[in-house]
């Protein structure tokens, strides 16, 4: 019995000693961990402080360890700004000479003089005019007589442009007697009043809205921007057929233009599988969204037609529409605006490379983001095997849908570059009178 008691006492001492040692170890660990954590936190703060000091050296003014480095840095920055400004200005001037061109043959010298400044371009204006803007910040307006002149002339340009595509004509050329049609346009409208799809869309979006009234300056500028973009797209098709040396409808690249849409009209019901109504456009008569409990007199003011034209007309790099009330410094890009494009064509599959080459050669930068060959839409097939939309050879033609964006470059933003505006060249006296509008 005594031996058993001794054994039990020994085991108790063992467990007591083990527990005591464990407690001591835990206490030591907590003490040590706390001290180490404190040292680690202090070390992190010291490293961050030193890093902040080093990172701030390039921006130091008075206490920089190497003042000559600051002078060299500023010199290099100014050289880069000059290079950016020169490249930007050169690219914009090139577009102004080749793409952003107002038809001089159809407009008076007075009109051309009035729009010969940077503000007479839709890209130079904010998406929504600020009613409180004054001085240089207030956009210039065209005289009403000039806007009437534009209204009476512009509707003639689009049918002529469509005819150029049909016969593959360069600017200034006219179709000869007996010339073969290279391209056909799909037609819209009632019997006896049908017009090609491009002209029909322009009439719907612009000219029919102007009936019985004078268009606003913004409406004039947007209509002109549409004309520039449609001209570039039509010349892409003309160029593709020229590259293939097409002499008739039997060997053309693009046989039929089913649709040619830009801006809001270029958005599909389910673009890239991202769902419908991405580009829901407010109507002029809408008074905004009415929230629960709101009274009619508390609703938002009506959306003007100018605002409707600008609402999600342009997109960001993800294809999402830019709202009409987006401020200039909040736009996705300061250098340009992206205009969505959607074309549905019937093409010769063996000559598709000519069409893509023409896109890359376009004077207006157009980026093809998606090309679908013989797609299925709305449960129906495109051009079936063994036939085509124009009864061509078996399997030769295919329906192609092209989703693209046009890069509409803005004029140089000197405030954005934080550079002084270059002085305007002095005009000689003998040229000064010629530059003035007639009647002044």
Structural domain containing residue 259: 99-409
pLDDT tens column, 231-259: 999 999 999 999 999 988 889 999 999 99
Q: Quick one: pLDDT at residue 400?
A: 93
Distance, CA of 166 to CA of 403 (rounded, Å): 22
Cβ density class 382-396: b for 16+ within 10 Å, e for less:
bbeeeebbeebeeee
pLDDT tens column, 171-211: 888 888 888 999 999 876 544 455 677 888 888 888 888 88
Q: Quick one: pLDDT at residue 438?
A: 41
State the average pLDDT over residues 317-325.
87
Cβ count within 10 A of residue 301:
7
> Which of 263, 267, 240, 250 lies closest to 309, judged by CA?
263
Q: Which CA distances in Å does 200 have to 185, 192, 197, 212?
A: 11, 14, 5, 19
CA dihedral over 63, 64, 65, 66, signed as positive or negative: negative
Average pLDDT, rounded, for the chain: 78
pLDDT tens column, 3-18: 655 655 666 666 776 7
Residue 406: pLDDT band with limits 50, 70, 90: very high
Q: Is residue 369 part of a domain?
A: yes
In contact, 220 and 150? CB cutoff 8 Å: yes
State the average pLDDT over residues 408-432.
66
> Which of 130, 339, 437, 218 lies closest to 210, judged by CA?
218
Q: Is residue 165 part of a domain?
A: yes
In contact, 343 and 233? CB cutoff 8 Å: yes
Q: Is residue 15 part of a domain?
A: no
State the average pLDDT over residues 158-178.
89
Distance, CA of 308 to CA of 299 (rounded, Å): 18
User: Bridge-partner residues for 398, per DSSP?
Assistant: 347
Q: Quick one: pLDDT at residue 28?
A: 78
What is the percentage of the chain residues whose pLDDT exceeds 70?
72
Distance, CA of 281 to CA of 309 (rounded, Å): 9
The one-character DSSP state at 363 is S
Q: Is residue 31 part of a domain?
A: no
Out of 111-120, 275-284, 346-355, least confident range = 275-284
Q: Quick one: pLDDT at residue 136?
A: 66
pLDDT tens column, 140-159: 888 999 999 999 999 899 99
Q: Quick one: pLDDT at residue 3?
A: 62
Chain centroid, CA 6 distance in Å: 92
> Which of 326, 348, 363, 344 lies closest to 398, judged by CA?
348
Q: Which one is predicted more confidently, 136 or 45?
A: 45
Distance, CA of 71 to CA of 69 (rounded, Å): 5
Q: Which CA distances in Å does 169 have to 162, 268, 289, 390?
A: 10, 31, 49, 22
Say whether pLDDT at 101 is over 70.
Answer: yes
What is the percentage of the chain residues whose pLDDT exceeds 90?
35
Say whether pLDDT at 19 is over 50.
Answer: yes
Distance, CA of 110 to CA of 90 (rounded, Å): 27
In contact, 382 and 374? CB cutoff 8 Å: yes
Q: Which one is predicted more confidently, 280 or 419?
A: 419
Q: Is residue 105 part of a domain?
A: yes
Say whether pLDDT at 393 is over 50.
Answer: no
pTM of the model: 0.73
Distance, CA of 86 to CA of 23 (rounded, Å): 75
What angle do helix axes 157-167 and 197-205 make, rounded to 10 degrees?
A: 160
Chain centroid, CA 114 distance in Å: 27
Q: Is residue 169 part of a domain?
A: yes
Q: Is residue 48 part of a domain?
A: no
Number of separate domains in the chain: 1
Q: Is residue 129 part of a domain?
A: yes
């Amino acid at each position: 019995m005594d031996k058993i008691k001794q054994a039990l006492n020994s085991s108790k001492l063992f467990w007591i000693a083990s527990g005591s040692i464990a407690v001591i170890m835990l206490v030591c660990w907590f003490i040590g961990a706390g001290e180490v954590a404190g040292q680690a936190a202090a070390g992190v703060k010291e490293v961050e402080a030193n890093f902040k000091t080093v990172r701030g050296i390039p921006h130091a003014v008075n206490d920089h360890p190497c003042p000559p480095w600051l002078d060299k840095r500023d010199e290099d920055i100014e050289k880069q700004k000059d290079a950016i400004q020169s490249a930007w200005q050169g690219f914009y001037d090139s577009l102004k000479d080749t793409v952003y061109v107002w038809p001089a043959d159809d407009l008076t010298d007075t009109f051309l003089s009035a729009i010969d400044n940077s503000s007479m371009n839709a890209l130079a204006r904010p998406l929504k005019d600020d009613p409180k803007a004054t001085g240089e910040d207030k956009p210039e307006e065209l005289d009403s007589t000039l806007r009437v002149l534009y209204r009476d002339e512009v509707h003639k340009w689009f049918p002529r442009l469509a005819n150029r595509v049909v016969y593959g004509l360069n600017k200034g050329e006219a179709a000869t007697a007996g010339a073969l049609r290279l391209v056909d346009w799909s037609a819209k409208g009632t019997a006896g009043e049908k017009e090609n799809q491009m002209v029909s869309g322009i009439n719907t979006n612009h000219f029919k809205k102007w009936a019985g009234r004078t268009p606003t300056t913004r409406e004039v500028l947007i209509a002109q921007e549409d004309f520039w973009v449609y001209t570039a797209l039509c010349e892409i098709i003309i160029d593709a057929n020229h590259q293939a040396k097409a002499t008739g409808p039997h060997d053309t690249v693009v046989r039929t233009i089913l649709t040619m849409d830009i801006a809001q009209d270029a958005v599909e019901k389910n673009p890239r599988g991202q769902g419908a109504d991405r580009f829901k456009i407010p109507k002029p008569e809408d008074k905004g969204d009415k929230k629960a409990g709101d009274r009619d007199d508390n609703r938002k003011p009506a959306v003007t037609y100018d605002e409707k034209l600008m609402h999600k007309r342009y997109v960001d790099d993800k294809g999402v529409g830019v709202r009409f009330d987006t401020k200039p410094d909040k736009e996705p890009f300061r250098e340009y605006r992206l205009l969505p494009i959607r074309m549905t064509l019937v093409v010769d599959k063996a000559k598709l490379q000519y069409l893509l080459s023409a896109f890359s050669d376009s004077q207006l930068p157009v980026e093809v983001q998606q090309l679908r060959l013989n797609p299925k839409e709305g449960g129906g097939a495109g051009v079936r095997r063994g036939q085509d939309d124009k009864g061509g050879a078996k399997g030769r033609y295919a329906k192609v849908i092209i989703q693209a964006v046009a890069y509409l470059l803005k004029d140089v933003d000197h405030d954005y570059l934080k550079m002084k505006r270059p002085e305007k060249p002095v005009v000689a006296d003998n040229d000064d009178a010629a530059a003035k509008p007639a009647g002044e």
